[in-house]
Amino acid sequence: MLQGSLPALVTPFMNGALDLDTLKKLVEWHIAEGSNGLVPVGTTGESPTLTHAEHETVVAEVVKAAAGRIPVVAGAGSNNTIESIRLAKHAESVGADAVLVVTPYYNKPTQAGLIAHFTAIHEACGLPIIIYNIPGRSVVDMMPATMAELAKLPRIVGVKDATGDLARVCDQRMLCGPEFIQLSGEDATAHGFNAQGGVGCISVTANVAPKLLSQMQAHCLAGDYAAALAIQDKLMPLHKAIFTEPGLVGVKYAMAQLGLCSDEVRLPLVPLTDGTKALVNAGLRHAGLLN
């Protein structure tokens, strides 16, 4: 079962190219720090600006480096169903444990279109599928009743919910069943999400604070929400600072401050402004990650 803290892994660059040596080091670091899984080539992994060959390389390298020690949930989303099927089949061929598939962005499919899209991927790929519902980016919201229809398929096993609506967790549990895996897609509300019945978070901040977030998730799973809240309070300024501008830019800057990777991002994203850098630095200090 997928649960706990699963970093939405960044894709490190050096002089515009994939930095695979650093990527492998990050995998080792996350395992040592207690991360419960890895999610490469999601939005935080800059999937929109990776070539198809780069996308596949990152998935293959992360799977190889993880070597079965923790699960790898490979990003395989697209607004083109055929392309999403190809990415999912590639992830399966290199040994990923599951795929994360976002609701098709820009096209604005109906709920029937969402069912058809995810059913087609399910029928083409043997891996478990996590639905990624993020209406703020995709401009389409998968309704709980639609998710319940998809949950009837044997390999559609859960959701990364980035709606920010904590009532959805209850609705989805009632409609999809208690075994349906619900993972938060929003760091700032992950504690509350778990209290409503979630079992973990696909986290951006976990790229820079994996041990703390793994500990927070472990406390939640053990039912110790007071201990989890103490960690959430420690990290909240960092969560907010990272997302002042696009989250992957914020977290790459934070990682660079700790010597983990370069802060390089690809256009159309640009480096953080000085004001946001100051907020991130303050958040790192509040969390005890930077002197």
CA-to-CA distance for 76 and 210, rounded, in angstroms?
Answer: 23
CA-to-CA distance for 102 and 137, rounded, in angstroms?
Answer: 10
Contact 206, 7 (CB under 8 A): yes
Q: Which long-range CB contacts under 8 A does 27-30 form with residues at least 24 apart?
A: 27/62, 27/65, 27/66, 28/65, 29/210, 29/260, 30/70, 30/206, 30/210
- The reply to whether 132 belongs to the active site is yes
- Within 10 Å of residue 17's Cβ, how many Cβ atoms? 9
Both tokens of residue 237? 């300024």
Provide DSSP, 7-42.
Answer: EB----EETTEE-HHHHHHHHHHHHHHT-S-BBTTS
- The reply to whether 211 belongs to the active site is no
**The length of the chain, given as a count of residues:** 291
The pair phi, psi for residue 52, each rounded to 5°, is -60, -40
Q: Which of 25, 64, 132, 240 is catalytic?
A: 132
CA-to-CA distance for 14 and 11, rounded, in angstroms?
Answer: 10
Contact 197, 170 (CB under 8 A): yes
Q: Which of 105, 160, 253, 277 is catalytic?
A: 160
Which residues belong to the active site? 132, 160
